[in-house]
């Protein structure tokens, strides 16, 4: 967003005082005090580093983690989202989608509750709207829900289902693994007919936050398995000879979209790891400096 010279700069979810100068245009004069903010951390706390973080969404009441129960059910990812939400004092909810494709959807609820006993879990089929009713107590006028989830998790479809109108464009998804295209390219805010506010965050960015390359290979186990057959163990899969990933792409066994998604996430993960490496180097240099300083002091004693 363009820096408007306001303190703070408005983000999605902010309530602003606006001076209207045309029927569809206005000038933001002030950002009203925020009730809550959701931060995107730059560096993961698990590494013992208090990294920078920045506010991505303001005034969120609930963080709805949207997860494809069929193709992407992952307790570790739930944990990551839950801890990020808790860190900002935002109540998490879990919405497991595509349950129409499961024979025993209740099993998934039990698996989640065994680990996160207090987490409200909803099993929904956004196509037929089955299970949507259970969410209604969270969908109140003036309540803001932020949707978090990977690309293809079913956020746009859920939004459509909730609003009963095509407010968001859903992407085509491959039957094979259920991964979608990145139809959500910017954070957006929708107001449901009853006055509930929904904020849809880009699927890719949601996983990008504090992901490490370990997480990336976990999410792309097919590419990881192919990579083991590459001629070079440090193959980047971007043009080396004897690359099994490129071969699979050529043979149509690996979808180009999925590969591009992998490259994008790997890029994010490696810059994250670079930050860590730089930080370690700095700490080492500081340790050395302190050591010499202390020795110097002793010599004076």
Ligand X SMILES: Nc1nc2c(ncn2[C@@H]2O[C@H](COP(=O)(O)OP(=O)(O)OP(=O)(O)O)[C@@H](O)[C@H]2O)c(=O)[nH]1
Query: Which H or E run contains 83?
Result: helix 75-87
The correct pick among 153, 223, 226, 248 for binding ligand X (CB under 6 A) is 153
Place of tokens 């059910």: 73
Determine whether the annotation assigns residue 277 to a binding site: no
Work out whether 261 is an interface residue with ligand X (CB under 6 A).
no
Nearest CB to ligand X, comparing residues 123 and 226: 123
159-198 footprint of ligand X as x/- string (CB under 6 A): -----------xx-x------xxxxx--------------
Contact residues: Zn ion, CB under 5 A: 230, 235, 237, 243, 245
- Which range of residues in 43-51, 152-160, 231-239, 252-260 is near ligand X by CB under 6 A? 152-160
Q: How far apart are the C-alpha atoms of 275 and 272, rounded to whole Å?
A: 5
Work out whether 246 is an interface residue with ligand X (CB under 6 A).
no
The correct pick among 203, 244, 262, 268 for binding ligand X (CB under 6 A) is 203
The correct pick among 59, 108, 122, 125 for binding ligand X (CB under 6 A) is 125
Nearest CB to ligand X, comparing residues 65 and 230: 65
Rounded to 5 degrees, φ, ψ at 251 are -80, -5
Work out whether 102 is an interface residue with ligand X (CB under 6 A).
no
CA distances from 233 to 141, 226, 265 (A): 55, 11, 20
Task: Tell me which of Zn ion, ligand X, none is bound by residue 243, counting a contact when its beta carbon lies within the kind-specific cut-off of 5 to 8 angstroms.
Answer: Zn ion
Rounded to 5 degrees, φ, ψ at 198 are -120, 130
CA angle 225, 229, 231 (to 5 degrees): 145
Task: Tell me which of ligand X, Zn ion, none is bound by residue 151, counting a contact when its beta carbon lies within the kind-specific cut-off of 5 to 8 angstroms.
Answer: ligand X
CB 101 within 8 A of CB 70: yes
Query: How many residues at the interface with ligand X, by CB under 6 A?
Result: 24
Tell me the residue number closest to ligand X, measured at CB. 203
CA distances from 229 to 43, 101, 240, 242, 251 (A): 32, 33, 13, 9, 15
Q: Which two tokens stand for residue 112?
A: 């989640």
Residue 154 falls in which region: left (phi positive, over 0), alpha (psi -120 to 50) or beta: left
Of 172, 174, 272, 179, the residue nearest 219 (C-alpha): 179
In the three-class reduction of DSSP (H, G, I as helix; E, B as strand; rest coil), residue 129 is classed as coil
Task: Tell me which of Zn ion, ligand X, none is bound by residue 53, counting a contact when its beta carbon lies within the kind-specific cut-off of 5 to 8 angstroms.
Answer: none
Determine whether the annotation assigns residue 132 to a binding site: no
Nearest CB to ligand X, comparing residues 82 and 150: 150
What single-letter DSSP state applies at residue 296? H
Please enumerate, by residue number, every residue annotated as part of a binding site: 97-100, 149-157, 230, 235, 237, 243
State the residues that interact with ligand X by CB under 6 A. Answer: 97-98, 100-101, 125-127, 149, 151-157, 170-171, 173, 180-184, 203
Please enumerate, by residue number, every residue annotated as part of a binding site for Zn(2+): 230, 235, 237, 243
């Amino acid at each position: 967003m363009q820096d408007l010279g306001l303190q703070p700069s408005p983000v999605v979810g902010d309530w602003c005082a606006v001076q209207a100068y045309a029927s569809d245009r206005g000038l933001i004069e002030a950002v009203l005090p925020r009730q809550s903010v959701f931060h995107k951390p730059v560096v993961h706390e698990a590494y013992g580093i208090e990294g920078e973080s920045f506010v991505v969404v303001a005034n969120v009441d609930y963080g709805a983690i949207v997860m494809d129960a069929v193709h992407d059910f992952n307790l570790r990812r739930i944990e990551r989202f839950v801890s990020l939400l808790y860190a900002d004092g935002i109540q998490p909810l879990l919405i497991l989608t595509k349950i129409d494709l499961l024979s025993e959807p209740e099993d998934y609820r039990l698996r989640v509750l065994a680990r996160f006993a207090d987490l409200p879990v909803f099993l929904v089929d956004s196509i037929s709207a089955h299970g949507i009713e259970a969410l209604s107590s969270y969908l109140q006028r003036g309540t803001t829900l932020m949707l978090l989830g990977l690309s293809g998790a079913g956020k746009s479809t859920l939004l459509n289902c909730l609003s009963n109108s095509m407010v968001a464009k859903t992407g085509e998804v491959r039957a094979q693994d259920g991964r979608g295209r990145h139809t959500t390219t910017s954070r957006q805010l929708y107001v449901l007919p009853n006055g509930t506010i929904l904020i849809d965050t880009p699927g890719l960015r949601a996983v990008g936050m504090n992901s490490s390359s370990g997480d990336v290979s976990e999410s792309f186990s097919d590419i990881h398995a192919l990579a083991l057959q590459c001629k070079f163990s440090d193959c980047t899969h971007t043009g080396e000879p004897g690359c099994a990933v490129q071969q699979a792409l050529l043979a149509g066994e690996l979808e180009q979209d999925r590969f591009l998604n992998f490259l994008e996430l790997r890029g994010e993960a490696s810059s994250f790891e670079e930050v860590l490496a730089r930080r370690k180097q700095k700490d080492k240099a500081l340790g050395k400096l302190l050591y010499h300083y202390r020795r110097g002091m002793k010599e004076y004693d």
